[in-house]
Amino acid sequence: MNRILLVEDHERLARLTCSGLEAAGIAADVVHRGDDAWAALQQVPYGALVLDRGLPDGDGLALLQRLRARGVGVPCLVLTARDALRDRVEGLESGADDYLAKPFAMDEMVARVRALLRRPTVCRPLDPALGDLQLKPADGSVCCGVERISLAPAEMQILLLLMHGSGETVRRAALEAAAWGLGEAVTPNALDVALHRLRRKLLAIGSRQRVVNVRGLGYALREAGVAA
Ligand code: CA
């Protein structure tokens, strides 16, 4: 879809950008505030988002982070008056796909928006969450509130499978296959060792989720203090 959303509070700049894009065959809807952008993005499947950082109701990057956390994968070009390396890094870490410093040449804006529109809109999956736990597969860690701890790859795979089960019992063999792959020779107690480490890590970050042994069947995540 060749329609984009431009989020820019500077009205004259927004108007100029809009006409520049339209002259290049790209229709643009304009909003001036982050909350209006949020509402518009829930309703219209835009092909791309051009987002100013300095908005009257907050930093455009905070909005982008909220969008990404909700799984909104629309390709995004972040605009800023600042061109420091730190700003570019922050932008990319917040889920921006590209970055353009103000003032910009209209030709460059059009070229960058075209490049974004050629990208498929991937739906970025939400980080898996269960109870007070949030898994961050991209950086190999798990969080409970502001606490965060790194997981070994096998621990990550085990926790992913347990969280995916949402409290359902997962068999030992399934956990072993997830952690080390099928047919790989693992010592008989490798899973017990990994589960022991995982339990300690969940306690260390203050989670109420416990990996419990469901006698004869396998393992499950249960919240401490809640009857099985
Ligand atoms: Ca601004």
- Which of 10-14, 17-21, 95-99 is predicted with the least confidence, judged by mean pLDDT? 95-99
pLDDT score recorded for residue 90 = 75
pLDDT band at 164 (very low <50, low <70, confident <90, very high): confident
- Measured in Å, residue 39 CA sits from the centre of ligand 1 at 19
- Measured in Å, residue 79 CA sits from the centre of ligand 1 at 9
pLDDT band at 12 (very low <50, low <70, confident <90, very high): very high
State which fold the 129-223 domain adopts. Arc Repressor Mutant, subunit A (1.10.10)
- At residue 199, does pLDDT exceed 60? yes
Q: Which of 93, 53, 96, 105 is nearest to 77 (CA)?
A: 96
- Measured in Å, residue 69 CA sits from the centre of ligand 1 at 23
Instruction: Tell me the three state secondary structure of residue 58.
Output: strand
Cα(132)–Cα(163) distance, integer angstroms: 11
- Mean pLDDT of the 48-69 span: 89
Q: Which of 130, 142, 211, 135 is nearest to 172 (CA)?
A: 211
pLDDT score recorded for residue 222 = 93
- Mean pLDDT of the 181-200 span: 84
Residue 175 to residues 16, 55, 125, 184, 228, Cα–Cα distance (Å): 57, 47, 22, 13, 20
- Mean pLDDT of the 26-53 span: 91
Output phi, psi for 38, to 5 deg: -55, -45
Cis peptide before 103 (omega within 30 of 0): yes
CATH superfamily of 2-117: Response regulator (3.40.50.2300)
The pair of three-digit structure tokens given for residue 171, joined into one six-digit string: 């068999």
61-86: per-residue pLDDT in tens?
889 988 877 777 899 999 987 666 67
pLDDT score recorded for residue 91 = 73
- Measured in Å, residue 33 CA sits from the centre of ligand 1 at 9
pLDDT score recorded for residue 126 = 60
pLDDT score recorded for residue 5 = 96
Q: Which of 48-52, 60-64, 160-164, 213-217 has the highest mean pLDDT?
A: 48-52
- Measured in Å, residue 115 CA sits from the centre of ligand 1 at 23
Mean per-residue pLDDT over the chain, rounded: 86
% of the chain at pLDDT higher than 70: 91
Query: What residue segments make up the domains of the chain, in order of their start?
Result: 2-117, 129-223
Q: Are 29 and 49 in contact (CB under 8 A)?
A: no
Cα(136)–Cα(46) distance, integer angstroms: 27
- Measured in Å, residue 81 CA sits from the centre of ligand 1 at 8
Output phi, psi for 66, to 5 deg: -65, -40
pLDDT score recorded for residue 185 = 66
- At residue 228, does pLDDT exceed 60? no
pTM of the model: 0.54
- Measured in Å, residue 35 CA sits from the centre of ligand 1 at 14
